[in-house]
Structure 1
């Protein structure tokens, strides 16, 4: 459009205007969005337009024409170099994103939509722009003992938090199918975390020692058996929210326990299983601290129970989409921490549903 404007001016009554300085920015503008081929084409077109205007105005031999051509040459070379570098970085970024997506699929499996008489949906929001995975962890599995769910948050950020989350998830995926009791599943996760921390400390022994109190994972385990209840074991995690008849209630743990990795503070205390009613039509939301600790510009926390109660209608996917929109609106799309949410809903068993139909 800029080159066309130059031609129109030169072949119109307004040709007395100096259009030479308008040609130099054309390659630079092209380099912003075009690749080397497109930028090179604009460079050639700018040179052609400059030659046409100089011939039309009988300006060859004047210092103005050669100054304009020199400026066009310098800007063109810089624009081509910039375009090549930008395209190379975009390709590298696309490759990193593909690798990140594969890593996320390995560490965080997609949440299955249907599991026996339970439907589920999940949402993960990374605080870092362009990131797809962090220290938050979750999994939903159908096991011989019922539907089992873990939601947790590894302290810290970056690759150490990802490795910690992967260790806990790997232990859960194995133990959930073989351990009949939830506390034993949690202990298997704790043992895996302990091994990972020992390995990390061994890798860092030449550097500054790791502080054990700064390497931990908060986690909550949930189990949906055949009976209309939900069973929970929590280790320092935020209480799940039970949505029953339009009201959201926090399922507080009667005996708070420290997070995984801080077993020295646990002592000989057992890990009790808390049981709550979970009837047909009830929904349970498990989440990480990035949700409830999200702040608006005024410093106010995100009121998850209120938003959940207000957005309780519709499918699970739509509910999470609305929660996501509310959370991003509350923080002005600037999350300070990763946020993950898992929501499940109990339905009638398939045999009962067939009988009623």
Structure 2
């Protein structure tokens, strides 16, 4: 609002300076600043109004020299017309950009469907930021679906950026959502994604991903295909879930003998699992230091996943100075603590305290 009023303020200031000093020929050319600035903040009609006021003031306050006054007035008219054209072009581009944004937002909802706060037995929170300033979607992907075989989810990162990366992300998510319902075995879900990518990706393209399933109470299954290890939050400890048998990213299985393996974790009441993409851990500050995600989790972890993820997202933006240079996704899964004392596997949850687990590494 203040910026929109600036052209009128400038024109008024120039007129006042002319009246006070009596130096019309000196100050009046500055009236052209008004319509010029208005082109960046007003519609064409607003620019014409400011220009009309400037021309009138130039005619009233002009000096005795008819020649000088004619030069000033003709300059003001020319600047006003040119500024009106610039304003019209800017307005048109803004309408086009708004249409593109609405399409991008619709594409995001179709591709990265909103995740409810509760899925099955879990509390869930998601944060996603595309690196492109005007984009809503990018090469990072996530999905979480309840299936007959338990809750299943995927977090991944497509090599590259732009529309090709978005297209690959859509392909992976489509296959995952279908296979997650059809395949009882989580490794078969991964195998179906791999086969489809082998048919559709180029030789240098791939997707890193973590696929997770919760088939039975207390049992979490993880398949890591070249992706950053999830963080398991158990009690006061934060443990990276490193793959026991590292596997290549999806789409590269033909280049190696390594195959994805299933890793089973105990996952009990109060436990949390954070999945993320490398846009989070590889975000650098002005000193070129990476964002310390595990330390951030330790600072902000709570019983409310949405609050934890929001705090991590805000801290990440502060770390990089407000602008991410890569797509970044965070997905936090929490198993709410049961009422009363429970014992599942090697962990127990007293009614009055936090989950207590052994200290061995996962």
TM-score (normalised: structure 2): 0.86
Contact 1:112 1:140 in 2 (8 A): no
Shift of 1:266: 4.2
Question: What is the aligned counterpart of 1:265 among 243, 255, 269?
Answer: 255
1:181 aligned partner: 185
Superposition pairs of residues 1-357 of structure 1, within 5 angstroms: 1-12=9-20, 14-16=21-23, 18-54=26-62, 59=64, 62-197=66-201, 210=202, 212=203, 214-267=204-257, 271-313=260-302, 315-348=304-337
Give the superposed CA RMSD.
2.2
Query: In the alignment, which residue of structure 2 is the partner of 1:206?
Result: none
Name 1:200's counterpart in structure 2: none
Tell me, yes or no, if the aligned pair for 1:117 and 1:348 is still in contact at 8 Å. Answer: no
Aligned mates of 1:143, 1:349 — CA distance in 2: 23
Q: CA deviation at 1:37?
A: 1.1
Rounded Cα–Cα distance in structure 2 between residues aligned with 1:313 and 1:225: 25
Distance in 1 of aligned mates of 2:307 and 2:16: 53
SS in structure 1 at match of 2:126: strand
Unaligned runs of 5+ in 2: 1-8, 343-350, 352-362
| Runs of 4 or more consecutive aligned structure 1 residues displaced over 6 Å after TM superposition | none
**By how many angstroms is 1:44 displaced?**
1.4
Given that 2:59 and 2:73 are in contact with CA atoms closer than 8 Å, whether structure 1 keeps it comes out as: no
Tell me if the contact between 1:168 and 1:190 (Cα under 8 Å) persists in the aligned partners. Answer: no
1:162-214 Cα offsets, whole Å, 9 max, x none, are 111111110000011111110001011112212322xxxxxxxxxxxx5x1x2
Say if 2:220 and 2:266, in contact at 8 Å, map to a contact too.
Answer: yes
Contact map agreement 1:246 1:312 (CA 8 A) in 2: no
SS of residue paired to 1:19: helix
Offset at residue 84 of structure 1 (A): 1.0
- Distance in 2, matches of 1:246 and 1:37, equals 62
C-alpha distance 155-10 of structure 1, shift in aligned 2 (>3 A): closer
Between 333-342 and 166-175, report the one with greater CA deviation: 333-342
Q: Distance in 1 between matches of 2:51 and 2:41?
A: 14
The Cα shift of 1:302 comes to: 1.5
Q: What TM-score do you get using the length of structure 1 for normalisation?
A: 0.87
Deviation for aligned residue 1:272? 2.5
- Indicate the SS of the match to 2:213: strand
SS in structure 2 at match of 1:176: helix
Q: Does the 8 Å CA contact 1:24/1:68 hold for their aligned counterparts?
A: no
Shift of 1:349: 6.8
How far does residue 338 in structure 1 lie from its aligned partner after superposition? 0.9
Q: C-alpha distance in 2, partners of 1:75/1:81? A: 10
Equivalent-residue separation in structure 2 for 1:179 and 1:304 (angstroms): 33
Q: Distance in 2 between matches of 1:148 and 1:262?
A: 23
Q: Structure 1 regions of 5+ residues with no counterpart?
A: 198-209
TM-fit CA distance, 1:7: 4.0
Q: Alpha-carbon deviation of 1:22?
A: 2.3
* SS of residue paired to 2:208: strand
Larger deviation, residues 310-319 vs 75-84: 310-319
Instruction: Give the superposition deviation at 1:9.
Output: 4.2
CA offset digits 1:319-352 (Å, max 9, x no partner) = 11211122122222342321111111102579x9
Q: 1:313 to 1:347 in 2, by over 3 A?
A: closer
